[in-house]
Amino acid sequence: MKGFFITFEGGEGAGKSTQIEKTKSYLESKGRKVITIREPGSTPIAEDIRNLLKSVRSDDRMCDTAELLLMYAARAQLVNTLIKPKLEEGFDILCDRHDLSTIAYQGGGRMMNMEDINAIRNVVLKSFRPDLTVLIDVPPKVGMARARNRGELDRFEISNADFFERVDKAYHDYAKNHPETVAVVDGTLSVQEVSEQIIKNIQERLDV
């Protein structure tokens, strides 16, 4: 039996990592085999690309096109060498960010041309899509305050407030247009309450 591919999305500090662990526990309690991963990253090559993408460096400025292509290079490596084979083996995969992050951050935040993004997306993913995307909805200010509390900020987190407002809007626009595959949960509630909303959506939408 093929596993479920569930992705977790949201702005900085939305609580994705926290909720992935809780969702994993729930699915395992139902006897399912679960793998948790993150994007960009989760294979040795993709983790190298992640380091390139996240590091703030003074000797060179990454241009938006390089950023977009590196995101998709990491995604191609992860989808082809890990996600697809493990789904076929029957594992459920919980992924911290996936393609919707590119639509939100590079499309919304960086204001890159969506036709160009879709063209690359088509080369890398073709029709491959998550079974369910959980969008953890947290106002950018709340999420950034949580991220700042954790200490040093990466190359994305140092972006200005307008950038994160555009990311947030792109997430909401996408969710509004794809209600059948995107479940929006209120990330300002307690960790336990957010988890309950996510599990309810999984129960209603997937055969778990």
Q: What DSSP string runs through 150-204?
A: TS---TTTTS-HHHHHHHHHHHHHHHHH-TTTEEEEETTS-HHHHHHHHHHHHHH
Neighbours of 97 (CB within 10 A): 21
Interface with ligand T5A in residues 25-64 (CB under 6 A): 38-40
**Shortest CB 1 distance to ligand T5A, Å:** 28
**Shortest CB 31 distance to ligand T5A, Å:** 26
**Shortest CB 97 distance to ligand T5A, Å:** 4
At which residue do the structure tokens 């911290």 appear?
96
The annotated binding site is made up of 10-17
Q: Is 97 in the site for ligand T5A (CB under 6 A)?
A: yes
* Separation between Cα atoms, residue 97 and residue 134, nearest integer Å: 10
Q: Is 108 in the site for ligand T5A (CB under 6 A)?
A: no
The continuous run of DSSP H or E covering 61 comes out as none
* Separation between Cα atoms, residue 88 and residue 96, nearest integer Å: 20
Pick one of 4, 91, 105, 174: the residue that binds ligand T5A (CB under 6 A): 105
Q: Is 201 in the site for ligand T5A (CB under 6 A)?
A: no
**Shortest CB 46 distance to ligand T5A, Å:** 10
The annotated binding site for ATP is made up of 10-17
Q: Is 194 in the site for ligand T5A (CB under 6 A)?
A: yes
Interface with ligand T5A in residues 137-156 (CB under 6 A): 146-147, 150, 156
* Separation between Cα atoms, residue 57 and residue 203, nearest integer Å: 44
* Separation between Cα atoms, residue 5 and residue 149, nearest integer Å: 31
Q: In this structure, what token pair is assigned to residue 70?
A: 């590196």
Q: Is 16 in the site for ligand T5A (CB under 6 A)?
A: yes
Q: Is 18 in the site for ligand T5A (CB under 6 A)?
A: yes
Q: Is 160 in the site for ligand T5A (CB under 6 A)?
A: no
Cis omega (within 30 of 0) on the bond before 130? no
Residues lying near ligand T5A in the complex (CB under 6 A) are found at 10, 12-18, 38-40, 71, 96-97, 101-102, 105-106, 146-147, 150, 156, 187, 190-191, 194
